């Protein structure tokens, strides 16, 4: 490449560039051959003579070091390089530096002032950040449900953007007429304790609460305002406090402070104001939702109580109805039974008279028929007596006096066997008492005991097989006497064994010639319970049953 004189190079470069751009011409040894007047101005140089100067003499060390590698790249490769560079901090000066070859030995370093562009970019960035903060805070406001967490998150986002170090949130306590420190960050616990409560008109927050107007303090460290006495020791330089108002009513205050900066721009104050406004709406909504939830919970509890009471009332009404119904039935049954017993006794009495009349003896046919009348009447009388006994125990247990006295079990059992012996004889059933039973005397109600034994023995005879046996035995087991009535009868299916003690429950309805009412075992159970004992059965269908009664001794 042909080389031309430096002056003509300057001339041609100057002609190519507009007045805002300055340039330095240098050679491959980084020796400066010329510097343009504009460049002298832009770089703030005083010395206009460049003779013998190197590129490093014109540029600050940091800037030169950065540009050096680009310069070598241009010298070696012959290419074109551009780079944005901050050449000074105070005042901030941004340049676009373009380095390119002019001919084989000359190179140009072009300086373009891009300060304005950088300021615009910074302003744009701040706007974008503000927009982001507002956007993010809107998202936080709708998603975060805990007030402290919400304020902490907002503060974290704001503090990054605005260089904030502290936030203080007071709630207005209407009843106590004072501000209560609710949330804060950047202050240690001990410090926070000092201003836990504030009355209206004191310090910055109290004054903001009173006037319901924002207060901004700049250069706090240099300002003597006594409202700042609490804040100043925290090292805060710029401080802003916003009132939190809901429909014009004070709900609290939020303030922000910075230890690094002394002022806020109006743009920043606007941002803080917008966020505080949103926060108020959300905090207010949270309080209302809280109140609503509490009211709902109270209502739910009250509702549950109401339902429970309603259920109890219904149970009482139902129980009363059942009791009334049962009482009416019982009274009716008792009345009918009494009314039936009188004529029945006459029938039995007259039948017996007829049966034993020697003067006018009955024919055999008449005797046979009369015997059926007598048998049916006695059966009916037994049924009526059983029903009356059942009602008596059921309705007035206290009227049954317990007549406990010492009895010899052997004697009592013999008495019972004696009462059923005719019955057994008629059916061809043999009755036994086991030989090795203990001869024991216990305190017991003999009438109840008798009733229980006779009922069990009669059943053992009634439900026995032809020529069957009934065996009685007892054992003393600790503090109990257990008596067993064992038969060789038809047995009771397992599925019925739990029910046979219920009133009117019968298993063998269909067995011809076996009469019954289904009351006997109910009376047995009630009598045994009266004696504080228990009763039960074990049975194998077709083989026989063993009923047992266990009473305390
Ligand atoms: P009832 O004998 O008048 O029917 P119970 O209350 O005395 O009434 O007995 C209830 C039912 O239990 C009887 O109908 C019968 O089916 C059954 N049962 C009672 N004792 C025996 C027994 N020893 N063997 C077989 N079944 C019996």
Report how far ligand 1's centroid is from the alpha carbon of 421 (Å). 19
Whole-number Cα distances in Å, 250 to 176, 283, 483 = 14, 12, 87
C-alpha distances out from residue 470 to 508, 520, 523, Å: 19, 18, 21
- How far is Cα 467 from Cα 465, in angstroms, rounded to an integer? 6
Q: How far apart are CA 245 and CA 214, in angstroms?
A: 11
Cβ(484) to ligand 1 under 6 A?
no
Of all protein residues, the one whose alpha carbon is nearest to atom 13 of ligand 1 is: 506
Q: What is the whole-number distance in angstroms between the Cα of residue 76 and the centre of ligand 1? A: 124
What pLDDT band is residue 395 in, cutting at 50, 70 and 90? Answer: very low
Residue 16, CA distances (Å) to 12, 22, 104, 236 in order = 6, 11, 19, 54
SS (H, E, C) 134-167: HHHHHHHHHHCCCHHHHHHHHHHHHHHHHCCCEE
Q: Give residue 309 CA to ligand 1 midpoint distance, Å.
A: 44
Indicate which atom in ligand 1 lies nearest the CA of residue 464.
24
Instruction: Tell the residue number behind the tokens 């005719």, with chain if given.
Output: 422
Cα dihedral value 174, 178, 179, 181, nearest 10? -110
**Among candidates 455, 448, 418, 452, which has minimal Cα distance to 433?**
418
The reply to whether ligand 1 has any atom less than 6 angstroms from the CB of 257 is: no
Verify whether ligand 1 is closer than 6 Å to residue 544 (CB atom).
no
Contacts of 461 (CB under 8 A, 6+ apart): 420, 423, 424, 427, 429, 470, 487
Go through 116-143 and write b for each residue having 16 or more CB atoms within 10 A of its CB, e for each that does not: eebeeeeeeeeeeebeebeeebeebbee
Q: Which residues contact 269 (CB under 8 A, 6 or more apart)?
A: 214, 216, 240
* CB-ligand 1 contact for 155 (6 Å cutoff): no
Sheet order of strands, 469-477 included = 430-433, 469-477, 480-487, 544-552, 534-540
Measured from the Cβ of residue 77, the count of other Cβ atoms closer than 10 Å reads 10
CB atoms near residue 319 (< 10 Å): 10
pTM score: 0.44
H/E element holding 547?
A: strand 544-552
Closest atom of ligand 1 to CA, residue 485: 23
Cβ of 395 less than 6 Å from ligand 1: no
Does the pLDDT value for residue 397 go beyond 70?
Answer: no
C-beta atoms surrounding 505 within 10 Å: 14
Q: State the average pLDDT over residues 464-487.
A: 94
- Residue of higher predicted confidence among 500 and 511: 500
From 520, 523, 540, 543, the mutation candidate for ligand 1 (largest count of ligand atoms within 8 A of CB) is: 520
Give the CA angle between residues 81, 82, 88 to the nearest 5°: 135
Say what the pLDDT of residue 550 is: 96
By the 10 Å C-beta count (0-12 exposed, 13-18 middle, 19+ buried), 86 is classed as: middle
CB atoms within 10 A of CB 423: 15
Q: Is the CB of 533 under 6 A from ligand 1?
A: no
Is the CB of 508 inside a 6 Å radius of any atom of ligand 1?
yes
Residue 273 to residue 287: CA distance in whole angstroms: 21
- Give the separation between CA 294 and CA 14, rounded to whole angstroms: 80
pLDDT at 47 over 70: no
Q: Is the CB of 520 under 6 A from ligand 1?
A: yes
Our CA dihedral for 383, 388, 394, 396, rounded to 10 degrees, sits at -170
Nearest CA to ligand 1 atom 18: 459
pLDDT of residue 396: 52
pLDDT at position 438 over 50:
yes
Distance 472 CA to ligand 1 centre (A): 18
Contact 250 CB / ligand 1 (< 6 Å): no
**Chain-wide mean pLDDT for the chain?**
86
pLDDT at 203 (0 to 100): 94
Angle, alpha carbons 93-95-99 (nearest 5°) = 150
Rounded to whole angstroms, the Cα distance separating 207 from 170 reads 12
Spacing, Cα 486 to ligand 1 middle (Å): 13
**Mean pLDDT computed over 514-540:** 90
**Mean per-residue pLDDT, 502-518:** 77
Q: Torsions phi, psi of 397, nearest 5? A: -60, -30
Contact predicate 508/489, CB 8 Å: no
% of residues, the chain, pLDDT over 90:
41
Angstrom distance (rounded) from CA 215 to CA 243: 9
Neighbours of 256 (CB within 10 A): 26
Angle subtended at Cα 153 by Cα 150 and Cα 155, rounded to the nearest 5 degrees? 105
pLDDT in tens, 320-370: 888 888 787 777 777 877 788 888 888 999 898 888 888 888 888 988 999
pLDDT tens for 314-326 read: 999 899 888 888 7
Pocket lining: 519 vs ligand 1, CB cutoff 6 Å: yes
pLDDT tens digits, one per residue of 121-157: 888 887 788 788 778 777 777 777 777 787 888 888 8
* Ligand 1 pocket check for 468: Cβ under 6 Å: no
pLDDT band at 255, cuts 50/70/90? very high
- Ligand 1 centre to CA of 428 (Å) is 19
Distance CA 38, CA 14 (A): 10
pLDDT at 510: 53
| Cα–ligand 1 centroid distance for 371 (angstroms) | 25
- Cα 507 to ligand 1 centroid, rounded to whole Å: 7
- How many helices (H) and strands (E) the chain has is answered by 13, 18
Helices (H), 163-241: 189-194, 203-211
pLDDT class for 387, splitting at 50, 70, 90? Answer: confident
Give percent of the chain above pLDDT 70.
93
- The residue nearest atom 21 of ligand 1, judged by CA position, is 459
Using pLDDT thresholds of 50, 70 and 90, give the confidence band for residue 9.
low
Q: Does 545 sit in the ligand 1 pocket, CB within 6 Å?
A: yes
Least confident of 48-52, 175-179, 262-266: 48-52
Q: Is 507 in the pocket of ligand 1 (CB under 6 A)?
A: yes
Residue nearest (by alpha carbon) to ligand 1 atom 3: 516
Cβ of residue 456 lying under 6 Å from some atom of ligand 1? no
């Amino acid at each position: 490449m042909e080389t031309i004189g430096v002056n003509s190079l300057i001339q041609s470069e100057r002609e190519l560039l507009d007045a805002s751009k300055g340039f330095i011409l240098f050679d491959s040894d980084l020796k400066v051959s010329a510097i343009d007047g504009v460049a002298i101005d832009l770089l703030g140089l005083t010395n206009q003579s460049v003779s013998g100067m190197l590129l490093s003499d014109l540029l600050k060390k940091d800037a030169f070091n950065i540009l050096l590698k680009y310069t070598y790249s241009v010298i070696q490769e012959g290419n074109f390089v551009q780079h944005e560079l901050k050449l000074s901090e105070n005042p901030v000066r941004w340049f676009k530096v373009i380095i390119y070859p002019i001919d084989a030995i000359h190179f140009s370093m072009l300086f373009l002032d891009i300060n304005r562009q950088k300021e615009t970019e910074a302003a744009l960035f701040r706007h974008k950040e503000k927009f982001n903060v507002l956007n993010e805070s809107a998202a936080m406001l709708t998603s975060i449900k805990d007030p402290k967490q919400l304020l902490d998150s907002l503060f974290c986002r704001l503090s990054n953007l605005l260089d904030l170090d502290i936030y203080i949130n007071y709630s207005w306590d209407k009843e106590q007429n004072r501000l209560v420190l609710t949330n804060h960050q950047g202050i240690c616990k001990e410090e926070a304790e000092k201003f836990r409560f504030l009355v209206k008109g004191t310090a910055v927050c109290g004054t903001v609460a009173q006037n319901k107007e924002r207060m901004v303090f700049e250069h706090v460290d240099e300002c003597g305002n006594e409202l700042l006495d609490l804040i100043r020791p925290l090292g805060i330089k710029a401080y802003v406090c916003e009132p939190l108002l809901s429909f014009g009513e004070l709900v609290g205050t939020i303030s922000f402070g910075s230890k690094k900066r002394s002022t806020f721009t109006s743009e920043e104050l606007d941002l803080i104001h917008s966020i505080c406004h949103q926060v108020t709406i959300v905090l207010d909504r949270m309080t209302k939702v809280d109140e609503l939830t509490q009211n709902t919970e109270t209502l739910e509890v009250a509702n549950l109580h109401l339902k429970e009471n309603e259920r109890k009332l219904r149970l009482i009404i139902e129980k009363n109805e059942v009791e009334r119904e049962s009482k009416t039935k019982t009274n009716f049954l008792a009345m009918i039974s009494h009314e039936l017993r009188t004529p029945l006794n006459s029938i039995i009495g007259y039948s017996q008279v007829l049966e034993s009349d020697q003067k006018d003896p009955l024919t055999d046919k008449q005797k046979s028929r009369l015997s059926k009348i007598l048998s049916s009447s006695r059966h009916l009388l037994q049924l009526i007596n059983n029903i009356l006994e059942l009602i008596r125990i059921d309705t007035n247990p206290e009227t049954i006096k317990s007549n406990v006295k010492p009895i010899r079990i052997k004697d009592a059992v013999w008495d019972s066997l004696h009462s059923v012996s005719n019955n057994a004889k008629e059916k061809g059933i043999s009755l036994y008492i086991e030989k090795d039973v203990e001869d024991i005397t216990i305190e017991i109600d003999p009438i109840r005991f008798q009733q229980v034994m006779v009922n069990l023995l009669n059943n053992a005879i009634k439900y026995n097989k032809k020529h069957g046996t009934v065996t009685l035995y007892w054992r003393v087991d600790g503090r109990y006497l257990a008596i067993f009535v064992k038969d060789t009868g038809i047995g009771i299916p397992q599925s019925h064994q739990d029910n046979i003690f219920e009133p009117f429950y019968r298993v063998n309805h269909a067995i011809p010639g076996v009469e019954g009412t289904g009351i006997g075992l109910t009376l047995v159970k009630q009598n045994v319970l009266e004696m504080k004992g228990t009763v039960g059965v074990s049975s194998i269908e077709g083989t026989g049953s063993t009923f047992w009664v266990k009473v305390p001794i």
